[in-house]
Amino acid sequence: MKATNLKTMLRMTTAVALILLAVGILPAPVLADATTGEGANAILDVPKVYSQTAVEQGLKESRGIPWFNGTGVIDKIVENGFVVDDMTLVGTNVDFRSEATGQPIASSFFKPGAKVGFVLNSKNILTSLWLLKEQ
């Protein structure tokens, strides 16, 4: 294996470990061993039960899908925003996207009853609304 591929693999393993650590399901000593190279395979030994959510989110982020501030169902459409699960989300320059493709889609897809994920900025203004796949 080339040294570049090995470095890339170690970076990816460390990135997954950081995601797991941020979610709080990976103990810090495992991360420390993984970054030194001695325990690089330890990350792969994390039980599936604990890592499922973090791994799914890591895969979503690799496709450009952000960590949502929340998810829910659109109750109604209001001026400059949406009501999602009784919470009004206001934003004038909203980025509308599909979770299935990660690509921009028309705002007309966002109707009452649609399941969505949303991203807010630091001022709690809606910046991105994602149409979620039915599970």
**Rounded to whole angstroms, how far apart are CA atoms 108 and 74?**
13
**Rounded to whole angstroms, how far apart are CA atoms 34 and 128?**
35
Question: Which two three-digit tokens encode residue 86?
Answer: 């009784």
pLDDT reported for residue 68: 86
**By the 8 A CB rule, do 127 and 91 touch?**
yes
**Rounded to whole angstroms, how far apart are CA atoms 70 and 48?**
24
**By the 8 A CB rule, do 118 and 129 touch?**
yes
Which tens digits make up the pLDDT trace of 102-132?
Answer: 899 999 999 999 999 999 999 999 999 999 9
Q: What is the mean pLDDT of residues 21-49?
A: 51
Among 131, 129, 107, residue whose Cα is nearest residue 119 = 129
Q: How much is the CA Rg of the chain, to the nearest whole Å?
A: 19
Q: Is the pLDDT of residue 63 over 80?
A: no
For the whole prediction, is pTM greater than 0.75?
no
